[in-house]
Amino acid sequence: MNDRAVDVADLRVRRGRNEVLRGITLSTPRGQVVGLLGPSGSGKTTLMRSIVGVQKITSGTVAVLGERAGSPKLRRRIGYVTQASSVYDDLTVRENLRYFARVLSAPASDVDRVIDETGLGKQATQLTGSLSGGQRGRVSLAAALLGAPELLVLDEPTVGLDPVLRTELWELFHRLADAGTSLLVSSHVMDEAVRCDRLLLLRDGELIADDTLHGLLAKTGADDAESAFLAVIRDRDRGTARDEAGAA
Ligand SMILES: Nc1ncnc2c1ncn2[C@@H]1O[C@H](COP(=O)(O)OP(=O)(O)OP(=O)(O)O)[C@@H](O)[C@H]1O
């Protein structure tokens, strides 16, 4: 079995007039929580869409669980949660999950499992449209957990959540990873770096670091992820200035 969850080589994506991914190469291990961190607009969603296979790419290759991204074979092996809620407001939580379980041919018993995993027991019979934004997000996550996909791609799943819920979600991600699921979780909040087994730092469509937080702090001498991110950028900018001076 291929031990990589995701393998990306020299990926370029153009959206509209802009090249929004500019030659990304990375690979992520299976069974870990990998954080995709970077400022708003750095290309996190575009990279996730490329991995899930819904983004037209300009060049490069993207392989997921040993298959070409977008291959029909991957359909049930990947769970994807976008930033927009993907569940029906006029169904209850349980009705939504029963519906998606049927669509995905997931066992009916999965519905109770994912309700339990996402802590939605109290809301199970509530109309999804009457839930808070954070709770609705958890229903989308629960739907993505149906069928126990091998890779979960989660686009900013903790945005807008209070610290308690945020902590609970990260704990869930690690329980899933401990059970063998691979997770790619995006965030623009650098503090979330401490929650990840590995980090991918994205800036302006380029991957500027692929490391553990520990490795990144050791390399940069920084005390936290935010300072490390800035240090990496400073180093790169210095390198570019040197290259330009050398070429002049
Ligand atoms: N449909 C589109 N057409 C043209 N440009 C787009 C489109 N969608 C995104 N972009 C541009 O691509 C770049 C990367 O966007 P992307 O959504 O991937 O970033 P992001 O890091 O996920 O941002 P955020 O954290 O705000 O979601 C941005 O400059 C954005 O303006």
Banded model confidence at residue 236, pLDDT cuts 50, 70, 90: confident
Segment 163-175 mean pLDDT: 91
Are 117 and 172 a contacting pair, CB within 8 Å? yes
Ligand 1 center to 14 CA (angstroms): 10
Ligand 1 center to 21 CA (angstroms): 10
- The rounded percent of the chain whose pLDDT value lies above 70 is 96
Q: Taking the model in full, what pTM does it have?
A: 0.92
Q: What is the pLDDT of residues 211-222, one digit of tens each?
A: 999 999 999 999
**Angle formed at CA 228 by CA 37 and CA 164, multiple of 5 degrees:** 50
Segment 140-153 mean pLDDT: 95
pLDDT of residue 1: 58
Q: Parse the chain into domains and list their residue ranges.
A: 78-148
Residue ranges of alpha helices (H) inside the chain are 44-52, 93-103, 110-117, 133-145, 163-178, 213-220, 225-247
As a whole number, the mean pLDDT across the chain is 92
Residue 97: how many CB atoms within 10 A of its CB? Answer: 29
pLDDT of residue 241: 66
pLDDT of residue 162: 85
Q: What is the pLDDT of residues 78-99, one digit of tens each?
A: 999 998 888 999 999 999 999 9
Return the best residue to mutate from 14, 45, 208 for the ligand 1 pocket (most ligand atoms within 8 A of CB).
45
pLDDT of residue 248: 62
For ligand 1, residues with CB inside 6 Å are 15-16, 18, 20, 38, 40-46, 188
Return the best residue to mutate from 12, 17, 18, 185 for the ligand 1 pocket (most ligand atoms within 8 A of CB).
18
pLDDT of residue 247: 67
Tell how strand 206-211 and strand 33-37 pair up: unpaired
